[in-house]
Amino acid sequence: MPDEVIADRRGYGLVVLNKLANVERRDRLTSLVQVLRQARRDLPLIWPMERRTEQRLKDFGLSQVIASEGVVCLPMQPHPDYVQLLSRATCILSDSSVANDEALALSVPCLSFADPADRECGAGAAAAIAVGTDPRLMTRALWKTIYGASAPLRVPALWDGQASARIAKHAGSWMSTNLTPAHRTAKVLAAAPPVFRPAGGVYALSRQG
């Protein structure tokens, strides 16, 4: 990754663009590239790109447009590297509801390519700023994000990464309350796979344990 992107005082925007409806249609992808060009004037952009998206940009003659704007294009990243990029970003520019949720969990502002008139479901979508393909909305949202004028993000109460610990605690509490030692032993034996053991020279079917 270029050092000037990392060192830029504004940080960088992370582009997540992978919906088929956006990537496979020339008109839609062209509109989104124009929005990204506008965004690049205000903020460095990093775009981890799927091969399909890269190919469509070439097919539609848009690769040179992206290159001329200095957008840093990367191959798709391993998930830990992607999460690191996301966690350090000033914002993400996304068409993905999954990325919206990930950004919200990490308290990273999300500018969504969804149409402002659409009503998308999910906490991440609700927290995202919908800019669609309108360069003016993108510029306005970026300025608010860069200069701290956007509304603070509210991460849902149970989005703390501790779900497995809560599940284990609840399951342990339920088992200690509802299962006696005899019940637990019986259930373990019932779940054991059957084996063949010799009984008087004849192999008999029995349970382990």
Count of C-beta atoms within a 10 Å radius of residue 87: 14
Inform me whether the pLDDT recorded for 49 exceeds 80.
yes
pLDDT at 48: 94
Q: How confident is the model at residue 11 (pLDDT cuts 50, 70, 90)?
A: confident
The model's pTM is 0.70
The band of 134, judged by pLDDT with boundaries at 50, 70 and 90, is confident
What is the model's pLDDT at position 209? 45
**Domains of the chain, CATH where assigned:** 3-146 (3.40.50.2000), 163-207 (no CATH)
- DSSP code of residue 166: H
Mean pLDDT of the chain: 79
